[in-house]
Amino acid sequence: MLKKTLAAALLASVCALPMMAATASAEVVYHRGNTADPETLDQHKTSTTYEAHILRDLYEGLLSYSADGKAIPGAAENWTVSDDGMVYTFKLRDNGKWSNGDPVTANDFVYSLRRIMTPDTGAKYANILYPIKNAEKVNKSEAKVEELGVKAIDDKTLEITLEAATPYFLELLTHQTGLPVHKASVEKHGSDFVRAGNMVTNGAFTLAEFVPNSHVKATKNKHFHDAANVKIDTVFFYPTEDRGAALRRFQAGELHSNNDAPTEQVDFMKKEIGDQFRVAPYLGTYYYAMKADKDKLKDPKVRRALSMSIDREFLAESIWGDTMVAGYSFVPPGIGNYGEPAFADYKDMDQLDREDEAKKLLADAGYSEANPLEIEIRYNTSENHKNTAVAIADMWKPIGVTVKMLNTDTKTHYAHLRDKGDFDVARAGWIGDYSDPQNFLFMVESDNDGFNYANYNNAEYDGLMDKAAKTVDLKERAEILKQAETLFMRDLPFIPLMYYGSMNLVSPKLKGFKDNLLNVHPTRWMSVEG
């Protein structure tokens, strides 16, 4: 009897081998370069695009992104807005489920929105959701979390009340801060809910592995409401801080895509890989943050001198190979709900005239050959950022500035900035989360601890931003925000350098990758062929 059972089992296993092999060979795997390791996979503690690319595969907010970067229904299949624009009512999908099979409910979003606003969570980007009624008060311990303007009408109906009508509110809900967490998992595992095996997600994929400095592996979530149309079974996200190495891996077929490219090899890429090197308009600004409250930089004349002497056209054309555009405002041109940005008044000055003016400004501030201004530039790992820093150091030499440089990996770099570490000048970039000038200008409000790297503190600026937040008329609001940006460009807590263009390496085997202004590319819309 035992022999027959063993023989039958062996026969069954042998017969099953072709089917198993066929199943294995049919697995669709996407190898995706992602520029940097995530600092965290807790959506309420993230702030970078590196993390967002992963999180929008793992989770789905009330709204989501289409393949071309548009806001579309997500966990909510539809919604209504009150006549005064203050109350949003969302109807959740009946078939929305978490990766463990639990239903996605309105209470999941109540819990999640309360969690990100709870001060103990330590969310650096909670203020993106301040349009929600009492959100700022809750986040600053001035109101109870139960007073937050979110409530579950029933399991599938969520109501969100705002402080004031906010024209971009729906777009806010596509951001990673609006992604839900699974309450039972957070309560059971605490901060370890982000680990593979503990994490429960409601997006197209679920976390299988996270090996720092190696990869994040996500596998298809069979409980996702649109799982039948998700063509990729497994996606690997690789940290590719070395853009040159990423290009070589891409050419070798090890990566199907990478979300950046080495700018010093633009001509080579155009020649060798043609339209696999893709450049598109991007809603973002590449800038240098300056420690505005530091003795050597607190005089606006000094910050203006440093800004004036930078040849942005050279950076955009020669360092970045025309993949960027010279930037003379912090808010990029073409953004929604705005007119022309507040450009620097030296935008059209001759570069040599700007250098002469910069020298005078530094002299007025007490700097000279005998007492030179010494600056350290911090930047995160990337040949692109290194080459930019070297070029700017050369541009500052003629005005009497001596420069040292400090490089760290991306996680360390941004953690240092967010945690108020010491620095003089630091490279940073900001990609709009939604097409509205507020999403750029809010960064240097005095109470924005997460992104006001400069420690800029201007009551007039704060007052204008508060006034704009309460202004419903879009034309009037745009004028108020323009006044705020004019102050920004006068005081220069950040030096705008260039407006981004997105650069992607995209294999012809990868289908469904669509260029868009936000450079968002959810894996659920893509497939790999061949």
Phi and psi torsions of 482, nearest 5°: -65, -40
Residues 59 and 100 in one domain: yes
Residues 511 and 457 in one domain: no
Question: In this structure, which amino acid lies at residue 24?
Answer: A
Residues 319 and 208 in one domain: no
Q: Which two tokens stand for residue 181?
A: 């967490």
Residue 267 within any structural domain of the chain:
no
Residues 285 and 228 in one domain: no
* Residues 168, 518 contacting (CB under 8 angstroms): no
Instruction: For residues 273 and 265, give the distance between their C-alpha atoms in angstroms, rounded to a whole number.
Output: 11
- Please give the sequence-ordered ranges of beta strands (E in DSSP) within 245-381, or none if there are none: 257-258, 277-290, 325-326, 373-380
Residue 258 within any structural domain of the chain:
no
Phi and psi torsions of 63, nearest 5°: -115, 160
Instruction: For residues 239 and 243, give the distance between their C-alpha atoms in angstroms, rounded to a whole number.
Output: 10
Residue 21 within any structural domain of the chain:
no
Residues 386 and 287 in one domain: yes
Residue 149 within any structural domain of the chain:
yes
User: What is the full per-residue pLDDT of the chain (530 aa) written as tens digits?
Assistant: 333 333 333 333 333 333 333 344 589 999 999 999 999 999 999 988 899 999 999 999 999 999 999 999 999 999 999 999 999 999 999 999 999 999 999 999 999 999 999 999 999 899 999 999 999 999 999 999 999 999 999 999 999 999 999 989 999 999 999 999 999 999 999 999 999 999 999 999 999 999 999 999 999 999 999 999 999 999 999 999 999 999 999 999 999 999 999 999 999 999 999 999 999 989 999 999 999 999 999 999 999 999 999 999 999 999 999 999 999 999 999 898 999 999 999 999 999 999 999 999 999 999 988 899 999 999 999 999 999 999 999 999 999 999 999 999 999 999 999 999 999 999 999 999 888 999 999 999 999 988 999 999 999 999 999 999 989 889 999 999 999 999 999 999 999 999 999 999 999 999 999 999 899 999 999 999 98
Residue 366 within any structural domain of the chain:
yes
Domain that holds residue 86: 30-235+507-528
Identify the CATH number of the domain in which residue 117 sits. Answer: 3.90.76.10
Residues 64 and 82 in one domain: yes
Residues 514 and 439 in one domain: no
Residue 229 DSSP class: G
- Radius of gyration of the chain from its Cα atoms, rounded to whole angstroms: 25
Residues 482 and 515 in one domain: no
Instruction: For residues 325 and 320, give the distance between their C-alpha atoms in angstroms, rounded to a whole number.
Output: 9
The pTM of the full predicted model, rounded to 2 decimals, is 0.85
Residue 199 within any structural domain of the chain:
yes
Closest C-alpha to 87, from 183, 28, 164, 14: 164
Helices 459-469 and 474-491 sit at what angle, rounded to 10 degrees? 160
Residue 138 within any structural domain of the chain:
yes
Tokens 């969302």, residue located: 90
- Compute how many other C-beta atoms are within 10 angstroms of the C-beta atom of residue 315: 22
Q: Which two tokens stand for residue 223?
A: 């409980």
Instruction: For residues 303 and 362, give the distance between their C-alpha atoms in angstroms, rounded to a whole number.
Output: 9
Closest C-alpha to 261, from 243, 273, 280: 243
How far, rounded to the nearest angstrom, does the alpha carbon of residue 499 sit from its chain's CA centroid? 15
Residue 143 within any structural domain of the chain:
yes
The DSSP-derived string for 183-210 is HHHHHHHGGGGGSTTT----SSEEEEEE
Question: Given this model, what pLDDT does residue 124 score?
Answer: 86
Identify the CATH number of the domain in which residue 384 sits. Answer: 3.10.105.10
* Residues 122, 132 contacting (CB under 8 angstroms): no
Question: Given this model, what pLDDT does residue 25 score?
Answer: 54
Residues 303 and 219 in one domain: no
Contacts of 17 (CB under 8 A, 6+ apart): none
Number of domains in the chain: 2
Residues 322 and 434 in one domain: yes
Residues 445 and 329 in one domain: yes
Strand 373-380 versus strand 425-431 pairing type: parallel
**CA max distance for the chain:** 99
Residues 447 and 465 in one domain: yes
